[in-house]
């Protein structure tokens, strides 16, 4: 196990280096620069700024400086937001995105699994049709439409929640639901189909013939196996929710990191692009590793060490 | 079927109730409505985090909005849109209009009690000019003698014409007589900095706190990055009796639809320009309800021609393209913000004659005459023989709709086919600035209230903001003469003549003059929006 994790960590470092390198070069190939605006700067001012941020150095020097910054975890100042460093942006923005993401994942998993199980147990009955209708809606309605819809009905019409901003728990509910709707629907469908498959297995019949109660069979025997695909999906889901929160953060005026992840590219804010990309990459690589480990724990048939011989 | 629907709906309702029950927050924590007085607390949206609240580093309108309300320059734009005495009680201007001596008020002080001194101004301006500090807007100070040389590292900062004669007297020497200099001293790059603090703590402007001292109507009470800024009334401001608002909350919500929803829900007192935006889709409805307020500002939306490429190097072709545009229709159907058709380059806020402009809008007949003349000069018999023309704009819904309408007008009215080319903002700027375009969309918003600001950029073909490759010796001469002319009327006429030359050559087809559009709560009064579109809350109050 330790050996396996060590090996995975090594692969992670290599992936990270590849990501850093690719981002660095793609960023520099893209036309434009951080100082471009509708009003062009006098050349001596632009030259002065280039020199100040070290953009006049040869590319290999900049690349090297950058790698050093990653290792020491000091990404320097933001080009655009002069009162903050990239580290500030990450340490202030990430907790917000994290809470939002966590809330969304909890909603998505809890309700997704619940709906999926109900649908499977009542296959081809009205419960099945109605939950799956909701699921299709959840998958096909984009999050920004969902967000506006929620704002209009629950905030403006019914006055239950505030329209936007990030202050109290009440402020977090609408954005979390909007962000969770898509994944929740996907999980519901995933759970339903794998649950139906599992319920048709012989060992479920055996359990039934032993006289076990319906609840025990569903939770202990069927769900444990049926949830495997859901666990697999958690890795990409974390990625999707973290990087996909941009739209939701924008609509609800939430001071999260997803916003910087996207706008830094339009601004050509080089240091923020690199800092946020590296940060997200580490996070996602770790999330995938955790999912793989969790997979082995839930399903004893999977050996993390790989082939039997090892 | 009916039954299924009702079950489905009841499930939805149940789900929303469960979720609602999870919430335990409270929204009505305000309370404390002491007496009949209306609370003087304003809630506005400023869209984004202000990139910098150091006046030397600020270079955008969001930072400008905050700075204008917390700091005060030698002058401040008053409610009549003219510069009025502010930190400077009065001033003397020398005979040649090149030396200004400002007398700073005795009672001017910073929020921590330090007096505001001439040195605070000298320090702030020289700090911005110092090439070691990465000030983008240092060029706003180039009107001062020796400033440009000092910033280009060719001369010492000591030779710049800024001198604190004594604690309360500031002497400024200009490179040329600049009739709009008192406008400039109200601009944010010219704001003072508490030099005592800034010398000790170079990072004084990165957060609210003891080191962020202010000398304006409000002080910076809280700055939660990317989220909210709170200003409170300053009790050390010299004119504090005029200030009525106790508190201003500035939210950073970068979504026009959300902004309007919050306004409708009572969470904002103001939605729209100049600090936020109104969604174009909502414009007509708000207008119909009579809630939308509109004010012209000094700005123009242009289509720039690259006059160095075929066939746009032909004056008559350019004129044909410009005359064939139906600007009124673009405004009524696309932008919808009561903008003014632009048939001149200087906004009517500066040249009132430009409400009419140099030619009638949608003048297809004249356009066709110009086209025939142009084709003849090029030796072509039909518009279809013209080389391909490409119209470039940066990716944006409004820009795209305008470009499509223009494409249609040119094809319909002149038989000229253009292709559309959109690009991401930075990519677009890169190609326009390197001259790699034929026709490109560009906007210009005035920095100061003078026609010079809209003409100067076309003086030299290689000037940074010209882009068109056009220059004209007569035009250059007029601009140069206007710089040394001390008689205001004569100077205005020179600029007017220069504009006429420009419009006759048509290196740019102006489309419309910008407006600000907003909605506000009924009992909010006297929020002042200047002709440049800058907002001040000094006089604002609720009734």
Asked whether the beta carbons of residue B4 and residue A126 sit closer than 8 angstroms, the reply is yes
* Residue A304 clears pLDDT 70, i.e. is over it: no
Any domain includes A227: yes
Instruction: Test A161 with B23 for CB contact under 8 angstroms.
Output: yes
Q: What is the pLDDT of residues B364-403, one digit of tens each?
A: 999 999 999 999 999 998 888 898 899 999 999 899 999 9
CB contact under 8 A, B464 and A41: yes
Phi, psi of B211 (to 5 degrees): -80, -15
Contacting residues for B328 by C-beta, under 8 A, at least 6 apart: B341, B361, B362
Nearest Cβ partner for A253 among B134, B253, B442: B253
Question: What is the pLDDT, as a whole number, of residue B464?
Answer: 82
Asked if A82's CB is within 8 angstroms of B51's CB, the reply is yes
Question: What pLDDT sits at residue A303?
Answer: 63
Is the separation of the CB atoms in B267 and B471 below 8 Å?
no
Chain A neighbours among B 411-470 (CB < 8 Å)? 424-427, 429-431, 433, 442-444, 464-465
Is position A172 within any domain? Answer: yes
**Residue B113's pLDDT is what?**
94
pTM of the model: 0.88
Residue B52 near residue A198 (C-beta atoms within 8 A): no
**CA-based end-to-end distance of chain A:** 11
Can you give the pLDDT at residue B358?
Answer: 95
| Mean of pLDDT over chain B | 90
B226 interface with A at CB cutoff 8 Å: yes
Minimal-distance CA residue of chain B relative to A53: B134
Which pLDDT band holds residue B29 (cuts at 50, 70, 90)?
very low
Helices (H) and strands (E) in chain B, counts: 16, 21
Is a pLDDT exceeding 80 seen at residue B536?
Answer: yes
Angstrom distance (rounded) from CA A232 to CA A135: 19
CB contact under 8 A, B22 and A173: yes
In a domain, A30, yes or no: no
Please report the residues numbered 150 through 189 in chain B whose beta carbons come closer than 8 angstroms to any beta carbon of chain A.
Answer: 151-152
List, as one string, the DSSP characters of B497-515: HHHHHHHHH-SEEEEEEEE
User: According to the model, what pLDDT value does residue B125 have?
Assistant: 97
Residue B26 binned pLDDT confidence (cut-offs 50, 70, 90): very low
Check pLDDT > 80 for residue A144.
yes
Q: Which residues of B touch A88 (CB under 8 A)?
A: 225
Nearest chain A Cα distance for residue B269, angstroms? 14
Structure tokens at B336: 């919808």
Q: Domain of A236?
A: 94-266
Q: What is the DSSP letter of B355?
A: G
Q: Which residues of A touch B225 (CB under 8 A)?
A: 81, 83-84, 88-89, 92, 255
The 3-state secondary structure of chain A, one letter per residue: CHHHHHHHHHHHHHHHHHHHHHHHHHHHHCCCCCCCCCCCCCHHHHHHHHHHCCCCCCHHHHHHHHHHHHHHCCCCECCCCCCCEHHHHHHHHHHHHHHHHHHHHHHHHHHHHHHHHHHHHCCCCHHHHHHHHHHHHHHHCCHHHHHHHHHHHHHHHCCCCCCCCCCCHHHHHHHHHHHHHHHHHHHHHHHHHHHHHHHCCHHHHHHHHCCCCHHHHHHHHHHHHHCHHHHHHHHHHHHHHHHHHHHHHHHCCCCCHHHHHHHHHHHCCHHHHHHHHHHHHHHHHHHHHHHHHHHHHHCCCCCCCCCCCC
B227-249 residue pLDDT tens: 999 999 999 999 999 999 999 99
Q: Please state the rounded mean pLDDT for residues B496-519.
A: 96
Find chain A residues with C-beta within 8 A of B49's C-beta. Answer: 81
pLDDT at B16 over 60: no
Do B23 and A126 count as a contact with CB atoms less than 8 A apart?
no
Residue B389 · residue B314 · CB < 8 Å: no
Q: In residues, how long is chain A?
A: 310
Indicate the residue of B134, B253, B258 with minimum beta-carbon distance to A48.
Answer: B134
Burial (CB count within 10 angstroms: exposed 0-12, middle 13-18, buried 19+), residue A88: middle
Question: Residue A67 falls within a domain, yes or no?
Answer: no
Residue B5 has pLDDT above 60, yes or no: no
Instruction: Give yes or no for B149 touching A (CB within 8 A).
Output: no
Chain B residues with CB under 8 Å of A262 CB are none
- In the prediction, which pLDDT does A299 show? 73
pLDDT digits (tens, 9 = 90+) for A102-138: 999 999 999 999 999 999 988 899 989 998 898 888 8
The pLDDT value given to residue A200: 86
In-domain check, residue A66: no
A259 with B134: Cβ contact below 8 A: no
Residue A70 lies in a domain: no
A289 pLDDT above the threshold of 80: yes
Residue with the two structure tokens 């299709």: A136
B501 vs chain A: nearest CA distance in angstroms?
23
Instruction: Indicate left, alpha or beta for B498 from its phi (over 0: left) and psi (-120 to 50: alpha).
Output: alpha
pLDDT at A308: 45
Q: Using only C-alpha atoms, what is the Rg of chain B?
A: 26
What's the rounded mean pLDDT across residues B461-490?
Answer: 90
Q: Which residue of A has its CA nearest to B263?
A: A163
pLDDT tens digits, residue range A197-239? Answer: 888 888 888 888 888 887 888 887 888 888 888 888 888 888 7
B19: which chain A residues are within 8 Å (Cβ-Cβ)? 173, 177
Instruction: Provide the ipTM.
Output: 0.87
Q: What is the pLDDT of residues B127-181, one digit of tens each?
A: 999 998 888 899 999 999 999 999 988 889 999 999 999 999 999 999 998 889 9
Minimal Cα distance from B6: which residue of A?
A: A130
A197 falls within a domain:
yes
CATH number for position A100:
1.10.3720.10
The tokens of A110 are what?
Answer: 């809890």
- Please tell me the predicted confidence (pLDDT) of residue A21: 94
Let me know: does B428 contact B472? Beta carbons within 8 Å.
no
Residue A262 to residues A96, A282, B395, B504, Cα–Cα distance (Å): 16, 18, 15, 44
Min Cα separation A93/chain B (Å): 9
Closest CA to B538 of B523, B525, B528: B528
H or E segment at B524?
strand B524-525
For A242-278, the pLDDT digits (tens) are: 777 889 999 999 999 988 888 999 889 999 999 999 9
Integer CA distances (angstroms), B21 to A146, B29, B242, in order:
20, 19, 47
Q: How many domains does chain A have?
A: 1
Nearest to B376 by CA among B462, B314, B322: B314
Residue of A nearest to B27 (CA): A162
What is the pLDDT at residue B262?
A: 94
Asked, for residue A14, whether it belongs to a domain, the answer is no
How far apart are alpha carbons B204 and A151 in whole angstroms?
39
What is the reported pLDDT for B17? 44
pLDDT tens-place string over residues A1-57: 788 888 989 999 999 999 999 999 999 888 888 888 878 888 888 888 888 888 889
3-class SS string, B379-428: CCCCHHHCCCEEEEEECCHHHHHHHHHHHHHHHHHHCCCEEEEEECHHHH
pLDDT in tens, A56-105: 899 899 999 999 999 999 998 899 998 899 999 999 999 999 999 999 99
Residue of A42, A124, A272 for testing the chain B interface, max B β-carbons within 10 Å: A42
């Amino acid at each position: 196990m330790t050996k396996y994790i060590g090996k995975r960590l090594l692969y992670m470092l290599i992936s990270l280096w590849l990501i850093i390198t690719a981002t660095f070069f793609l960023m520099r190939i893209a036309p434009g620069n951080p100082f471009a605006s509708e009003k062009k700067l006098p050349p001596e001012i632009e030259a002065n700024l280039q020199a100040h941020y070290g953009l006049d150095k040869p590319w290999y020097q900049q690349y090297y400086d950058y790698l050093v910054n990653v290792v020491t975890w000091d990404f320097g100042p933001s080009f655009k937001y002069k009162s903050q460093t990239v580290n500030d942006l990450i340490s202030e923005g990430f907790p917000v995105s994290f809470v939002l993401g966590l809330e969304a994942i909890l909603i998505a998993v809890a309700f997704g699994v619940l709906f999926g199980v109900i649908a499977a147990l009542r296959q081809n009955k009205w419960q099945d049709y109605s939950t799956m209708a909701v699921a299709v809606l959840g998958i096909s309605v984009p999050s920004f439409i969902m967000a506006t819809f929620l704002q209009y009905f629950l905030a403006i019409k019914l006055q239950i929640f505030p329209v936007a901003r990030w202050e109290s728990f009440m402020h977090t509910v609408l954005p979390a639901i909007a962000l969770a709707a898509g994944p929740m629907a996907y999980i519901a469908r995933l759970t339903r189909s794998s649950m139906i498959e599992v319920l048709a297995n012989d060992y479920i019949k055996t359990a039934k013939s032993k006289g076990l109660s319906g609840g025990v069979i569903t939770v202990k025997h069927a769900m444990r196996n049926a949830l495997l695909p859901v666990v697999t999906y958690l890795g990409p889901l974390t990625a999707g929710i973290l990087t996909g929160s941009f739209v939701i953060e924008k609509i609800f005026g939430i001071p999260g990191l997803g916003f910087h992840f996207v706008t830094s590219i339009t601004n050509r804010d080089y240091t923020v692009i690199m800092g946020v990309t590296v940060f997200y990459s580490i996070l996602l690589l770790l999330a995938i590793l955790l999912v793989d480990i969790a997979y082995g724990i839930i399903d004893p048939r999977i050996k993390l060490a790989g082939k039997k011989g090892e | 079927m009916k039954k299924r629907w009702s079950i489905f709906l009841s499930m939805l309702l149940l789900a929303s109730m469960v979720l609602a029950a999870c919430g335990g927050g409270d929204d009505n924590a305000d309370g404390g409505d002491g007496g009949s007085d209306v609370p003087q607390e304003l809630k506005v949206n400023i869209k984004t985090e202000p990139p910098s609240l150091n006046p030397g580093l600020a270079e955008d309108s969001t930072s400008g909005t905050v700075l204008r309300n917390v700091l005060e320059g030698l002058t401040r734009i008053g409610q009549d849109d003219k510069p009025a005495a502010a930190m400077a009680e009065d001033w003397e201007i020398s005979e040649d209009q090149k030396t200004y001596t400002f007398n700073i008020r005795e009672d001017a002080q910073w929020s921590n009690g330090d007096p505001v001194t001439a040195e605070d101004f000298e320090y702030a301006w020289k700090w911005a000019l110092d090439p070691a500090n990465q000030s983008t807007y240092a060029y706003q100070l180039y009107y001062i003698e020796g400033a440009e040389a000092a910033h280009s590292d060719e001369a010492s900062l000591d030779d710049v014409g800024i001198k604190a004669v004594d604690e309360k007297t500031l002497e400024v020497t200009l490179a040329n007589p600049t009739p709009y200099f008192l406008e400039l001293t109200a601009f944010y790059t010219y704001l003072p900095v508490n030099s005592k603090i800034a010398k000790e703590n170079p990072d004084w402007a990165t957060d609210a706190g003891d080191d962020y001292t202010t000398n304006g109507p409000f002080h910076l009470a809280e700055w939660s990055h990317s989220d909210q800024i709170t200003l409170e009334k300053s009790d050390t401001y010299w004119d504090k009796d005029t200030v009525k608002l106790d508190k201003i909350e500035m939210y950073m919500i970068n979504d026009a639809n959300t902004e309007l929803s919050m306004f409708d829900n009572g969470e904002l007192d103001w939605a729209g320009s100049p600090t936020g935006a109104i969604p174009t889709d909502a414009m007509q409805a708000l207008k119909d309800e009579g809630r939308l307020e509109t004010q012209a500002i000094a700005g123009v939306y242009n289509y720039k021609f690259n006059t160095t490429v075929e066939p746009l190097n032909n004056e008559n072709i350019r004129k044909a393209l410009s005359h064939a545009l139906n600007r009124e229709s673009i405004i009524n159907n696309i932008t919808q913000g009561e903008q003014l058709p632009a048939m001149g380059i200087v906004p009517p806020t500066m040249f009132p004659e430009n409400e009419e402009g140099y030619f009638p809008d949608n003048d297809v007949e004249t356009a066709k005459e110009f086209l025939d003349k142009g084709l003849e000069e090029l030796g072509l018999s039909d518009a279809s023989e013209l080389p391909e023309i490409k119209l470039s704009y940066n990716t944006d819904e409004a820009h795209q709709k305008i470009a499509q309408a223009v494409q249609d007008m040119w094809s319909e009215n002149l038989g000229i086919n253009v292709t559309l080319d959109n690009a991401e903002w930075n990519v677009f700027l890169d190609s326009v600035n390197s001259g790699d375009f034929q026709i490109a969309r560009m906007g210009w918003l005035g920095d100061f209230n003078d026609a010079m600001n809209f003409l100067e950029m076309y003086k030299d073909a290689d000037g940074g903001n010209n882009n068109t490759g056009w220059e004209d010796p007569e035009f250059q001469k007029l601009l140069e003469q206007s710089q040394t002319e001390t008689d205001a009327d004569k100077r205005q006429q020179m600029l007017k003549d220069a504009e006429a030359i420009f419009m006759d050559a048509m290196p740019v087809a102006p489309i419309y003059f910008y407006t600000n559009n907003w909605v506000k709560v009924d009992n909010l009064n006297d929020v002042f929006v200047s002709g440049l579109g800058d907002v001040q809350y000094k006089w604002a109050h609720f009734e």
